[in-house]
Each structure stands twice: as structure tokens, then as C-alpha cells.
Amino acid sequence: MNPISFLSRTRRAGRIDITDMLSWVWLIGGTLAVLVPVVWAGLSSLKPAAEITRFPPSLLPRTAVEQTVPGFDKPLSIWQVTVDGQQREMAMVRRIGLKAQMVDPANPGPPVSVDVKGITPVQHLTVATENYTDPLTRFNFLTFLKNSVFVTVVATLLTLIVNAMAAFALSKYKFRGDTTVFVIIISTLMIPLAVVMVPAYLVIVGVGLADNLWGVILPTIASPTAVFLLRQYMLTIPDELIEAARVDAASEFCIFWRIILPLTAPALAVLAIFSVLWRWNDFLWPLIVLNSRENFTLQVGLNAFQGEFSVQWHYILAMTFLSLLPVTVVFLFLQKYITTGIAGTGMK
């Protein structure tokens, strides 16, 4: 099959109708709409501070070429100049109105006066790595990062254990009130954070966890979605396995830990991915709980940073990109599991 016919195959072989064309316009347009803002922000994060607000913007990060010329203290910028019908590269000494004083960088003589209309700056591609390295050293970026990693890892581990235990109880035991407990847990699905955020903060203050990372972690652990997902999965595990283990005098916890948990691994993996994404991206709740800078997570830190340094876009974009990177990498590798996981459980 040649590439053209491969690309243009449709439901009815050999014919491209108008709906196919429109579909392609929609898909390509949508892909561009997703990619352009993200890629644009990424390219911008590599631009030097002087270049980033230039309008109209250039696509790639560039900066003016500068060169040290004998007889001048500071390095001078290099420009493309046409003198006597000849293209030459010259260094600009100063600019007065519409005239620029230029010298030849190789053998600087007396400056030549040139019309500024006829000159263009010589630029070269540069990657402003300092946008990335400066926040690491000068601002609290590393602290934010450490806090985010701590919250994400600890909250995910606890989410998995606590909810798996609850799901085990609700799927493998018959006891009085089991349905009631399940319904109560599931009913909390419809209570949004916004409704309880004020009193939940009071509780956090009451238990002494205000401005503490544990105050961010603890309220997120018990999750109705997680209980539901894990319970559904555990229901498919045959009860005979448990009976056999009981005959061998295994303790109930041992049954849970050594038999049920390993068999639930696929569901736990899906939940782990989501938990990591949720906790990494959390904003409103950490914003409420955390007050001091050294406790900020990445998202809260980014928000605070953009408020304080709204002109320093080169730093903001670089830090934005650093926080977007782990999620993108996770998605690239686990894209299939994430999308089927969401479609299967309606999680978000």
C-alpha cells in the first residue's frame, strides 16, 4: 500500500467525501489547538529575558550576537550593514536618532555613520538555560518541588493502603451494616471541596495541622472513588482463595496483604497513577492550608510566584514547564492505561 492511499483510506474505499475532509480539519485543528499554546510556552521558556517580550515574537529563542572590539570596554552588538552596495557585518558603537555609529570589528577605525533603516541585527540561536537554573538556586523552587514530591508520594501510598483495606472489608465480608457503610462512602462523591472548605480548614486548625504538609495529605486519603474502584475489582477475586488461606490458619490481615493485595495489582496501579496526578495538580486545598513559603507545593508556589513577579515571564514559564514535565512523561508511557482507566470508571 503506498503512503498516499494509506493516508486517504476511508470507510468507503476509493472515495473521499466531504465528511472525511471536515473530520481531518477538525482533528488537525484540535491537535494544533492543544499543542500550540503548550509548545509556544515551552519555546518561550528558553528565551532570554530581553528577548521574551519582543513583539512580534520570534519562533525560536534567539539573542543578539555581541563581540568585544579592541578600544571599547563593553562588548558591542553586531549588525548586518550595507555600505557602498556591499554587505558587511559591523559593530554598533552608539545610536543617535536615525543614524548609527558603526565600526569594523576586525580593524576598528573611526566610526562610520550609517542610516538605521538599512541595518539588521545579527542573531544566533541560544537556549537560555539560566531560566531553568536560576529558579533552582535563587528562588524556593527546589523546596516547592520537594514538598510536592513528598505530598504526592505519601498521599498516594496511604490512599492505596487505606482504601484497599476498606474495599476488602466491603467486598469480602458479610456483616450487618455493610450496605449502609458502602452507600455512605459513595454518597460523599457528590460533596465538592468548595462546600466544606471553610469548616475543613477549621478541623485542620483544630488538629494542629494548619500550614503543615500533613494537613494537605490527610483529608485527601479517604476517597470514595478509590473505594468503589477497588471494591469492584476485588469482587471478581474468587472467595475460595480466602477459604483456603483460612484453613491454613492465616490471619485476616495476612490474607488481605499476601493474597488480595497482589491480585488487585492492576486496579491499584490505575489508582496509583490517578492519585499521583491528583495530588501533583492539587491547587485550592493546598492554597488554603499552606501559608508560609517554605511549605508551598509546586502549584501554590507557581501561583504565588506569578503574582509577585508578573514581569519575569522567562522564570515563570521555565518553572511552569518543569512542573508539567513529570505529568507529560507519565502520560507518554501510560497513555493507554490512563484513557481506558478513565473510560472504565469515570474517574477524574
Partner 1 sequence: MAAGALFSQAGETAMRVVEAPMNAFEHIFGRKRMPWMFLAPNLILFAIFTFLPIAIAVGYAFTGGTNLFVSERPFVGFDNFRTLLSCGNYLQPGTCQESLFWTAVWNTLWFVACNVVATLLVALITALILNRAIFARGFFRAMFFYPVLLSPVVIGLIWKWFLDRNGLLNAFFQMIGVPPEIFLLDVGWSRFFVVVVSVWFHMGFYTLILLAGLQAIPKELYEAASIDAASPRRTLFRITLPLLAPNLLVVFILLMIKSVQIFDEAWVLTNGGGPGTANSFIVQYIYQMAFGSDLRVFGLASAASVLMGLVLLVLTLIQLRLGKRMES
| Residues 279-318 within binding reach of partner 1 (CB under 8 A) | 280-281, 283-284, 288, 299, 302-303, 306-307, 313, 316-317
Kindly identify the residues of this chain, within the stretch 241-280, that bind partner 1 according to CB under 8 A: 251-254, 256-257, 277, 280
Strands (E), 155-296: none
Q: Does 230 bind partner 1 (CB under 8 A)?
A: no
Task: Give the strand pairing for 62-64 and 120-121.
Answer: unpaired
Give helix then strand counts, H and E, for the chain: 16, 8
Q: Min. distance of Cβ 197 from partner 1 in angstroms?
A: 7
Q: Does 49 bind partner 1 (CB under 8 A)?
A: no
Q: Min. distance of Cβ 310 from partner 1 in angstroms?
A: 8
* Cα–Cα nearest to 140, from 325, 318, 305: 305
Total Cβ atoms within 10 A of residue 334? 14
Kindly identify the residues of this chain, within the stretch 148-187, that bind partner 1 according to CB under 8 A: 157, 161-163, 165-166, 168-170, 173, 175, 178, 181, 184-185
- The interface region with partner 1, picked from 67-75, 112-120, 133-141, 324-332 by CB under 8 A, is 324-332
Kindly identify the residues of this chain, within the stretch 191-220, that bind partner 1 according to CB under 8 A: 191-203, 205-207, 218-219
The b-or-e profile of 190-227 (16+ CB within 10 A means b, else e) is: eeeeeeebeebbeebeeeebbebbbbbbbbbbebbbbb
Number of residues that bind partner 1 (CB under 8 A): 99
- The interface region with partner 1, picked from 92-100, 135-143, 233-241, 334-342 by CB under 8 A, is 334-342
- The three three-digit cell numbers of residue 245, written as one number: 488461606
For residue 124, give every residue at least 6 positions away whose Cβ sits within 8 Å of its Cβ, in sequence order, or none. 62, 63, 65
Residue selected from 5, 31, 129, 133 as contacting partner 1 according to rule CB under 8 A: 31
Paired residues of 113 in beta bridges: 101
Q: How far is CA 187 from CA 177, 226, 232, 287, in A?
A: 15, 13, 16, 26
Residue 106 or residue 254: which is nearer to partner 1 going by CB? 254
Residue selected from 16, 265, 335, 337 as contacting partner 1 according to rule CB under 8 A: 335
